[in-house]
A and B are shown apart, each in its own frame.
Chain A
Amino acid sequence: MRTRTYKRVYVWELPVRIFHWVNVLCLTTLAITGFIIADPPALMSSAEASESYWFGTVRFIHFAAAYIFFFNMILRVYWAFVGNRFASWKAYFPRDKKMWRNLWHVLRVDILLQNEKNPDIQNISVGHNTMAALSYLALFVIALVQVFTGFGLYSSMSGWWLADLFAWVVPFMGGDFIVRTIHHAATWLFILFTLIHVYLVFYHDWLEGRGEVSSMFGGYKFVSKERMSKKVPNRTNVKPPVIEPEPETTH
């Protein structure tokens, strides 16, 4: 039985984790309020209209969450330029042979479930695997579609210049009808993404046992010791790795 020693690696920095969970909350809120706005439930009430404002409140929550979603997205884009290598924009575009090989690996081993005779440890991703990175890129594009159609629909109700920046979207598309339909249909793409995303997180956690699920809370993943660079990095020179009390897991 092979024994593998794992090292604890800081993968997801705090801003990335905050982004992730704010995004989760925003998307959930936006989808729920969005569906309510599309098809409000029947409430029988004998109260005067002036006594009640619940539908207005639902719409307010939707618009407020949209602003948070938007700014959160902008902060994440900023972090793609200053964050670590796993957060970098470079992780989202397959640029070299290694990333393409990884894409092929994920397709064969994780999607088509084939088994490799001699698994190459290089193919186990520390951050996003190439396939996942591409799916997040697609999600970003869908998010842009939602931002443009959503703020486009919202702009005529808003007096703020930020929403007004999107005022051209409705005339460009031909009218509210088509913009609203796109906005509504794209919501389903988020739902489909979420299903697949959550499943794959559990899948990797179950098969690889490297802390896939918990990494988005604590930020750490476990990476095989073999992948640590043999050369001791300069900044840890003062403290030889031998006596460093590294938390390790052994299978």
Chain B
Amino acid sequence: MATKTETKQTYYESIIKQGYSRRDFMKFATYITAYMGLESSMIAQVAKSLETSYRLPVIWEHYQECTCCSESFIRSDHPIVADIVLDKISLDYTLTLMAASGHQAEAAKLATMEKYRGEYILCVEGSVPMGDDGNYCCIAGKTAKEQFLEAAEGAKAIIAWGSCACNGCVQAAYPNPTEATPIHKIIKNKPIIRVPGCPPIGEVMAGIIVHVVTFGRLPELDGLGRPKAFYSKRVHDSCYRRPYYDAGLFAETFDDQNAKDGYCLYKVGCRGPMTYNSCGTIRWNNGVSFPIQSGHGCIGCSEEDFWDNGPFYERLTGLAGFGIESSADTIGKVAAGVVAGGLAAHAIAANISKRKELKSEISSGKSNEKNLER
């Protein structure tokens, strides 16, 4: 932790010092290059960068969150990610994993912020409560809002880990009593990488960190500030059950034969077609599985407002402001019924109101019919 790493070390030096072999290091470089979506010819560049670049100072802040992002990260596939990149050397400050505590910990953070001003990467896990002067979340006697603004000021870039920091997640769900706010809505003048997911995949997190370390710049981001390498495809696009979707073979309930046959979970609420993430390709727990593979639909945890977008086990048609039970279709059917009823009433009223006009038109029409040539 902070206290052990006063001397400048490269990543490679730290890795070797931890007892990993050169071979382990090269395996790690190969593996992380593949996850970043780079060509195999880039492996050498990644290895070289890790050998020559000094560790990047990282401050990892926790606000309104459940620490599932950290948990996901330290369970990343390759031990070097957990042991070296995160756990042992990289973090100058993280509440969950650091050995120091209390005033010592805060002092270490302040020291890093001063010493590496404009150089450190600020990782944020959790949203910031902006309601009631930010009093809903306090750390070391300061509100999360104060802590965040202070830490963000000297940061080179900010990484928003998880749906809390990206979208507010569950604490920002309606009615959002603490005014939980994602960080891109608070800080506008820093580059921000948004890494949504509840939690994000550990390998995705490691890939992003290594990308920043090896290339000294942010990975390519999409319109929502998410790294394209991991968030450019829908879960649906890489789902192994996709052929069932195209064939129109769907599970109707979780216990029917179709579900047992492994058919598409679209009709039991799978959000795969609306969710951008790498679950279908990288998968979870060392690539063992992902929700759909385990028979449960995607809940869209990496999408904005996924808690508010209707029940997880129904196709999404909920409309905000009309209550949970009403869907666009219910409202549409009622509206169509009301309109049809109104039109029928209008038709009757029109015939009554315009009866004189109609009577004369009809009688003239009839008399013309009589006068028609034989």
Residues of A within 8 A of B (CB): 1, 3, 38-40, 42-45, 47, 49-56, 58, 113-115, 156-157, 167-168, 170-172, 174-178, 180-181, 184-185, 187-188, 191-192, 195-196, 199, 203, 207, 209, 250-251
5 pairs from A and B in contact (CB 8 Å cutoff) = A176-B273, A177-B300, A185-B319, A188-B331, A199-B343
> With contacts A3-B364, A181-B318 known, what are 20 further pairs, Cβ within 8 A?
A1-B360, A44-B258, A50-B247, A56-B246, A56-B248, A58-B248, A167-B223, A172-B223, A174-B305, A177-B306, A184-B329, A185-B328, A185-B331, A185-B332, A188-B328, A188-B335, A188-B336, A192-B335, A207-B350, A207-B358
Q: Name the contact of B317 in the complex, choosing from A38, A50, A156, A167 (C-beta under 8 A).
A: A38
B373 to chain A, nearest CB (A): 14
User: Nearest CB to that of B365 among chain A residues?
Assistant: A251
A55 to chain B, nearest CB (A): 3
A53 in contact with B319 (CB, 8 Å): no
Question: CA of A207 to CA of B354 in the docked complex: distance in angstroms?
Answer: 8
Interface size bucket, B side?
35 or more
A150 to chain B, nearest CB (A): 14
Contact with A along B337-356 (1 / 0, CB 8 A): 00110010011011001101
User: Nearest CB to that of B355 among chain A residues?
Assistant: A115
Q: Name the contact of B347 in the complex, choosing from A38, A175, A199 (C-beta under 8 A).
A: A199
Q: Kindly state whether residue B24 has any CB partner on chain A within 8 Å.
A: no
Chain B neighbourhood of A58, CB < 8 A: 248
Determine the main DSSP class of B at the interface with A: helix
Q: Name the contact of A195 in the complex, choosing from B316, B328, B340 (C-beta under 8 A).
A: B340
B266 in contact with A171 (CB, 8 Å): no
Chain A neighbourhood of B245, CB < 8 A: 55
A40 in contact with B246 (CB, 8 Å): no
B267 in contact with A39 (CB, 8 Å): yes
From B246, B336, B343, B346, residue with most partner A Cβ within 10 Å: B246
Question: CA of A114 to CA of B350 in the docked complex: distance in angstroms?
Answer: 9
Chain A neighbourhood of B350, CB < 8 A: 113, 203, 207
Chain A neighbourhood of B339, CB < 8 A: 192, 195-196
Question: CA of A180 to CA of B318 in the docked complex: distance in angstroms?
Answer: 11
Q: Kindly state whether residue B283 has any CB partner on chain A within 8 Å.
A: no
Chain B neighbourhood of A175, CB < 8 A: 224, 274, 303-305
From A1, A44, A181, A203, residue with most partner B Cβ within 10 Å: A181
Chain A neighbourhood of B258, CB < 8 A: 44
Q: Kindly state whether residue B211 has any CB partner on chain A within 8 Å.
A: no
Q: Which 9 A-B pairs have CB atoms at the shortest separation, nearest pair first?
A: A171-B223, A188-B332, A55-B248, A176-B274, A56-B246, A52-B247, A49-B247, A185-B328, A113-B353
With A195-B343, A251-B365: A114-B353 Cβ-Cβ less than 8 Å: yes
Chain A neighbourhood of B331, CB < 8 A: 185, 188
Q: Name the contact of A40 in the complex, choosing from B266, B343, B365 (C-beta under 8 A).
A: B266
Q: Kindly state whether residue B119 has any CB partner on chain A within 8 Å.
A: no
Q: Name the contact of A50 in the complex, choosing from B243, B340, B343 (C-beta under 8 A).
A: B243
Q: Kindly state whether residue B275 has any CB partner on chain A within 8 Å.
A: yes
